[in-house]
Structure 1
Amino acid sequence: MGDFNAISNITETHEGSMRWCPAITDFKECLQHAKLVDFRFSGILYSWCNKSFGNACIVKKLDRALVNQGWTSSFPLSECSFLTPGISDHNPILTTFIKGTAVFQVVQKLKLLKPVLKGNCKKDFTDIDSLLHAVKLELDACQSDLDCSPSNTCLRQMERSFSTELIRLTNIQESMLRQKSKINCLKLRDSNTAYFHKSFSSRNNKKKILSLTTDAGILIYDKESIIEEIVAHFKGLLDTAAPPTHSLSDLCAFNFKQVPSHLLSSLSEIPSPLEIQNCLLHLNRDKALGPDGYNAAFFQKAWDIVGRSVTLAITEFFNNGKMLSEANNTYISLVPKCQNPSLID
């Protein structure tokens, strides 16, 4: 790890006159002879800059972290990040190690990422309505000026820029509201903001349990009493050992459709990385995977980054049958089977 003062490919430099030089071939041959490859990295690509301006500016990837096959096998989920250089002409390299099972490493990485995502969301999208309003006013003013000067190229470019930004902010707002309202049937993208708000409020009101009739026929309104009654009801159901309704001989009498013999072995096979990827990519993008808040859209969009770690974790589970409790958490909630529920049946 460090400054090798050489690049391995012409794409690792950006300067006024990019050209091939013998050092590129020499460095590539050295890496091949030593059986070294670039460590998985993220962040800044060009790790060195001469701090000049215009055509005199030269940036190159001179700093790198190299690993061999032994390292990759021992630390499959380690990685390094090239940070911003600050006042230096070289970028610092930060190496990250997360020990433990593959599932544990995925859980820990997602935990470390969440504060960063929350910070970015708070910074860029906290006041999305105000941002939309401001861009809409700018677009209106620009289009009013265009009405007086239709051939003004500068105004036409400004209009296009404001329109693009308005569409981007509108899509972000609708995405946020869609996740809150959990409306899966809405496919139109025509800025139905009022509809989203009304739907969200309506669904919340219908699902509220403001009163409850107990098994004794008593109507209760106190929130704590309602919670106690619901918990006691389900405890009674789950703690009671109910007798089996059918014996094995009864079940054998049913003519169940059987799995063909040539497919039986496939039921116990470890899924391939491609099967895992296809399964995740076909999930509903707005469905949350668990209390951690990461929905399918996150994994689908970032699959090139998180895919390897997630695939290792899933494969590990199929191999040893053990699932970390943190990765298996879920919400248990009451789902009303009628509007304005007031009775547990």
Structure 2
Amino acid sequence: MDVTFVYAFNARLDRRGLWSHLQSISSQVTVPWLCFGDFNVVLNIDESLGSPHVQAKLDRILVSPQWFASFRSTATFLNAGISDHSPCLVQIDGMASPCRPTFKYLNCWALSPQFQSTVCRSWSSHYSGGHIVSLFQKLKQLRSGLRQLHTSSFTNLSDRVAICKLALKHCQDNLSSSPMDSNLLREERALVQEYLQISARKVRNNIGSILDAAGKLCTGSYEVAQGFLAYYSSLLGSSTPVLPLPSHLFLQDTVSPEQCGSLIQPVRVPEILDALKSIDRNKSPGMDGYSSGFFLDAWTVVGQDFKNAVLEFFQTCSMPKVANSTLLVLVPKMDTPLTVKDYR
């Protein structure tokens, strides 16, 4: 990695040499680059507050796209104390490992001629433990086949990132011999913007640091996870014994014997498919990543197992843990979330 420390001049004209020097470095550096310090200038006018004591955002931490791709890191500005500047703390949580994204069924996969055969290959296996457990085991095994189908038949986002990085490297190699070429500089800016847009999801999905509910700074994957876990545990509560209801709270008006009989009638097989079709195929999938669209697209292969699993649930009134899990997805409420309360 390369690290550049900045302490800029106070006068605007004296800082021009700094900008030219940083521009030259950015066109030549090919490794992860960190540039931080006192730039002595605000980026926007709203970063400066007026009298009686002028406060301005002069200290910054800047990194290159290669830095995001190489490290999991956090940047924190500490209290100024007796100084008139805020100390910058950069913490590297480790190398950025290419984690596999969460599996999610895509409707376009059903358009591939290999879709049905891919499902059939995974569905030929047999599992013990009941119809529900067998269904979820087959779905789990099918994920790898559908991922391979996506890589071979549809646009691979990782390839787009690699192509963009290669084009950016070629452009910066040319800039090293012609650092003031305006066309090359414009091309570099456009490629950097494209690269950041493509890889923005990966950056957003990484929460390097967060303030917990008590205002304590959590850094590193484990501390961040524990901070969110404690916060949502307090919101969602914990398991408690079921208390009996007082008799005066019971409803006086009850269903008739005929209505009661209709409510406890056995589930009929045609009702299962009707209920599945009533679910929007674009609704958020469960923790296994499969939406109702998958079961409809592959009904000729998976339909019988799906119906057996539903019937088993109503016959045994038992739901295995594998089928009764949920997933908490953190969605930021703002562009720069700082605390666990800034997510929903």
Q: TM-score, normalised by structure 2?
A: 0.41
- Considering Cα pairs closer than 8 Å and 6+ residues apart, tell me whether 1 or 2 has the greater RCO: 2
